[in-house]
Structure 1
């Protein structure tokens, strides 16, 4: 009798477990696990359900206990008005979608969003990672007598620095580059191009090459060499000096010619008058 009762209990437990499992799986959900966006752009985190969506709760990625969105609490817009939720119809095999819109994405928006979905046939808890991609900026170049330095920072993906001269010749193999990942997760690239003795190149350009949203991006900055700048300055100073010296000399020569010819003209007139008197 006891064994029969045990068998009945086991069957009841299996039936209840199967029923709960079927209840939970009666609604199909789908949420993306990773979404990439460029800083400053807008993005949508969209989850789908095969039944009517009753409630959506989204938790702050920086503070997992704070709710950004909660339909039951009539909270469909974030405090800064940049994050909104929209429930709409979806294409088969799903019926409804819950779209989380984030406008003007900041670096601080990056992180893992916990999304709780409740529908007519069950519920789902998903994790969506939002990855904010940032381009490189603030390229700075300096130089001394033996090397040219290039530094770029801010990129979310490690990049490369290539070197070119004024004639578009590639000098990258002659340079050394160091890549450091900073505390905020961004990269800082530093490259040094050692100049050869008696280098006469007019300018050098460093080009930062990196990937952004699946595309290859480039940004460049150029600097003139010390020799070129100093040479131009010396020539200009020389031309100014020559001008200062030559102009007074020309004026003095003109004055001398005037003085020289003016007395001769006067003596010529006096001699001609005397000749007429004699005649």
Structure 2
């Protein structure tokens, strides 16, 4: 009887120990993710039981737990999103997912998970790797120089110039690098050329990997560029000549109008003078008889007195 009681107690103790062990040391599977710049990404951790609460911290890398300082998710405090919803937590039974929209270069690094489930607690760290953006460059010519713009990318990328015959012109180009988002740069390379562009074609190549030769290239036909430039450029001399030709008819019309106005004024003044002369002659014709009568009256006055 005593041995049966001892056996029952041992079994009960073993059962409680196993439950406590499962509750304390629950296992979760978390996977690393690699994604492209400005694309969406999903980081997930999966447990054996229903996950109830999650805490996620950002780390520089998973090997350095002391770098995990910023808490971006904490369901205990009703914090289910970060950066105005760009980063959101989605809980579905035993799966915990972190959805990241429009991945930035700063999103790269470690994500430390603290997970709480019906099976117990656990933690894990996942790494998000963001591949650098590889955007096709833009190539323009303003009549004096060719400009190649690589708007964003990693610092190690290079810009090279080639003509239509495969000649490397990079040595004749200048390069300006400007800081962009979180360690990325914007590159502007300028190749000075003669206005007539001596080669048939010019190509700007952005080299992203010197080992694999992965690149993006943009080319311009010299003939098309020169034609477009001569047609659309804002050359001051050409603009002045063009403007003058367009304004010649307007100027001639204005001159004719001015001459007509001047002629009308002269005609009006001449008519006024003619009318004034005619009125003066009529006045003289009216006054002459009166003056003559007055003279005769003065001549007869002495004779009457005698």
Q: Give TM-score, length-normalised by structure 1.
A: 0.52
Conservation of the 8 A alpha-carbon contact between 2:110 and 2:125: no
Q: Pick from 100, 115, 118: which aligns with 1:117?
A: 115
Deviations for 1:44-85, whole angstroms, at most 9, x for unmatched residues?
A: 011122333232111256995443222222322335122221
Q: Give TM-score, length-normalised by structure 2.
A: 0.48
Counterpart CA distance in 1 for 2:83 and 2:192 is: 53
Counterpart CA distance in 2 for 1:232 and 1:88 is: 63
Match of 1:50 in 2: 48
Conservation of the 8 A alpha-carbon contact between 2:207 and 2:213: no
Unaligned residue ranges in structure 2 (runs of 5+): 1-16, 61-66, 232-237, 246-306
Which protein has the larger Cα radius of gyration, Structure 1 or Structure 2? 2
Structure 2 residue 174 is the aligned partner of structure 1 residue 170 = no
Instruction: Give the 4+ runs in structure 1 shifted more than 6 A.
Output: 142-145, 177-181, 192-196
Secondary structure of 1:84's aligned partner: strand
Deviation at 1:36, TM superposition (A): 2.4
Check 1:164–1:175 CA distance in 2 against 1; reply closer, same or farther (3 A cut). Answer: closer
Counterpart CA distance in 1 for 2:81 and 2:54 is: 12
Deviation at 1:101, TM superposition (A): 0.8
Counterpart CA distance in 1 for 2:83 and 2:186 is: 34
Deviation at 1:35, TM superposition (A): 2.9
Give the helix-richer structure, 1 or 2. 2
Unaligned residue ranges in structure 1 (runs of 5+): 1-17, 90-95, 245-279
Deviations for 1:3-33, whole angstroms, at most 9, x for unmatched residues?
A: xxxxxxxxxxxxxxx99x9658853322234
Matched positions, count: 202
Check 1:61–1:80 CA distance in 2 against 1; reply closer, same or farther (3 A cut). Answer: farther
Structure 2 residue 80 is the aligned partner of structure 1 residue 76 = yes
Counterpart CA distance in 2 for 1:29 and 1:154 is: 38
Check 1:46–1:52 CA distance in 2 against 1; reply closer, same or farther (3 A cut). Answer: same
Counterpart CA distance in 2 for 1:127 and 1:24 is: 23
Structure 2 residue 98 is the aligned partner of structure 1 residue 86 = no
Check 1:216–1:195 CA distance in 2 against 1; reply closer, same or farther (3 A cut). Answer: same
Match of 1:206 in 2: 204
Check 1:151–1:121 CA distance in 2 against 1; reply closer, same or farther (3 A cut). Answer: same
Give the strand-richer structure, 1 or 2. 1
